[in-house]
């Protein structure tokens, strides 16, 4: 069994804007090393399309083993049109799915917080999003993205059939529900669990298992159930009714992208993907912005690095037990926004437009 090295941070910038935003995270980590003597050991390697171009695979065994022994993996983003024609098993996104699956990162935490300074950046009315603070807990290693059988096969009449299978076991549901209930206890103590129990058996099992775990161990948390399509609608109608949303892999993917727009930009939302703690209290975890490689803006120096920097704040909190440092970093982001600094995606009247690296530098100067 490969042991996790406590202070090892593996940077996997990936493709498109990934290297641009992870460069800003690296500056932040170096700042903590220089000014707070936190002794993070930084390593950096290739993942995704750039790895495919160099090694013929989106994730080499060497990088996978580095990931296994790192307490924190900071991923930028993978993919882009350059690799559209690549065989499915070698596509950049497969690297991400392999890391999540093999490291057993089953709980994906996606906070959607609307910063007061950015209420006008949302496409929704300010009164709908002001004060918004939602945490989406998405199951990450099961469901339709991983279920078997899967594939595309020829059938009669010269037609082809695409198959994906949506499956969940009780234990897969219970372990992620436990994460959601535990986190809710530190927040407003409310969980809304989303599935499609009206039309899917796996959704019915999801609902039953979440309810019985609640009745057994988490009676003090307020639990309600909502159909995922209704949740999508409620998120734009009245998002502040939510505290913790617990949901599966597919619905979580969509609902969290929808929630991101409540906050103004995909470039603002961090995420954490956590595994289980072993008996020594060690946990594997990967942190990444929820956005993709944004090929339309890659290389222009305009990408918003805040989602990635806030992902590192989550790493400080969940993997490194450095809550105070996490808070300081989150506060530094707020202060840079208070100064009116905006990357292009969140730019508005009377604000000052800054580049990716200027935003990173401003956040670091607020840390000082």
**Catalytic site residues?**
145, 196, 229, 253, 257
Taking CB under 6 A as the criterion, the residue among 26, 94, 291, 366 binding ligand NAD is: 291
Site track 13-32 with ligand NAD (rule: CB under 6 A), x = hit: ----x---x-----------
Taking CB under 6 A as the criterion, the residue among 227, 232, 266, 347 binding ligand NAD is: 266
Q: Determine the residue with CB nearest ligand NAD.
A: 292
- For residue 337, give both structure tokens: 């926004």
Judged by CB under 6 A, does residue 309 bind ligand NAD?
A: no
Write out the binding residues for ligand NAD, residues 38-77 only, by CB under 6 A.
77
Judged by CB under 6 A, does residue 303 bind ligand NAD?
A: yes
Write out the binding residues for ligand NAD, residues 163-222 only, by CB under 6 A.
none
**Residues whose CB is less than 8 angstroms from the CB of residue 320 and which lie 6 or more positions away in sequence, other chains included:** 7, 71, 72
Taking CB under 6 A as the criterion, the residue among 24, 172, 243, 288 binding ligand NAD is: 288
Taking CB under 6 A as the criterion, the residue among 201, 296, 321, 323 binding ligand NAD is: 296
Judged by CB under 6 A, does residue 78 bind ligand NAD?
A: yes
**Residues whose CB is less than 8 angstroms from the CB of residue 83 and which lie 6 or more positions away in sequence, other chains included:** 49, 52, 91, 92
For ligand NAD, the closer of residues 122 and 293 by Cβ is 293
Site track 103-142 with ligand NAD (rule: CB under 6 A), x = hit: ----------------------------------------
**Cβ 71 to ligand NAD shortest distance, Å:** 20
For ligand NAD, the closer of residues 80 and 203 by Cβ is 80
**Cβ 260 to ligand NAD shortest distance, Å:** 9
Taking CB under 6 A as the criterion, the residue among 108, 256, 273, 293 binding ligand NAD is: 293
**Cβ 190 to ligand NAD shortest distance, Å:** 28
Q: Is 69 exposed, middle or buried (0-12, 13-18, 19+ CB in 10 A)?
A: middle
**Cβ 264 to ligand NAD shortest distance, Å:** 11
In whole angstroms, give the CA distance from residue 130 to residue 345.
Answer: 19
Judged by CB under 6 A, does residue 292 bind ligand NAD?
A: yes
Question: CB neighbours (10 Å) of residue 250?
Answer: 17
Taking CB under 6 A as the criterion, the residue among 9, 72, 73, 96 binding ligand NAD is: 96
**Cβ 307 to ligand NAD shortest distance, Å:** 6
Binding site for ligand NAD (CB under 6 A): 17, 21, 77-80, 93, 96, 266-267, 288, 291-297, 303-304, 307, 345
């Amino acid at each position: 069994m490969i042991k996790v090295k406590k202070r090892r941070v593996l940077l996997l910038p990936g493709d498109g804007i990934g290297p641009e935003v992870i460069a800003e995270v690296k500056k932040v980590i170096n700042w903590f090393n220089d000014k707070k003597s936190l002794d993070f050991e930084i390593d950096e390697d290739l993942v995704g399309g750039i790895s495919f171009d160099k090694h013929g695979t989106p994730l080499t065994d060497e990088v996978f083993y580095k990931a296994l022994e790192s307490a924190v993996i900071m991923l930028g983003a993978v993919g882009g049109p350059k690799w559209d024609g690549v065989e499915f098993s070698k596509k950049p996104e497969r690297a991400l799915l392999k890391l999540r699956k093999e490291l057993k990162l089953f709980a994906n935490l996606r906070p959607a917080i609307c910063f007061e300074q950015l209420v006008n950046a949302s496409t929704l009315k300010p009164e709908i999003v002001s004060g918004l603070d939602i945490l989406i807990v998405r199951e990450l290693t099961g469901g339709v993205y991983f279920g078997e059988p899967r594939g595309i096969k020829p059938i009669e009449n010269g037609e082809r059939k695409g198959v994906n299978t949506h499956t969940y076991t009780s234990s897969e549901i219970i372990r992620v529900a436990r994460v959601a209930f535990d986190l809710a206890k530190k927040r407003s103590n409310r969980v809304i669990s989303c599935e499609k129990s009206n039309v899917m058996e796996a959704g019915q099992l999801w609902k039953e298992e979440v309810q019985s775990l609640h009745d057994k161990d988490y009676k003090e948390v307020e639990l309600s159930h909502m159909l995922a399509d209704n949740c999508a609608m409620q998120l734009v109608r009245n998002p502040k009714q939510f505290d913790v949303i617990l949901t599966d892999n597919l619905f979580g993917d969509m609902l969290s992208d929808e929630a991101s727009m409540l906050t103004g930009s995909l470039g603002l939302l961090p995420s954490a993907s956590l595994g289980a703690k072993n008996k020594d209290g060690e946990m594997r975890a990967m942190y990444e912005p929820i956005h993709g490689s944004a090929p339309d803006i890659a290389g222009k120096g305009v990408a918003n690095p805040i989602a990635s920097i806030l992902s590192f704040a989550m790493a400080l909190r969940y993997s490194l037990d450095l809550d105070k440092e996490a808070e300081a970093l989150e506060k530094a982001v707020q202060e840079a926004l208070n100064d009116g600094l905006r990357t292009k995606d969140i730019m508005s009247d009377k604000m000052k437009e800054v580049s990716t690296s200027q935003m990173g530098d401003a956040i670091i100067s607020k840390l000082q």
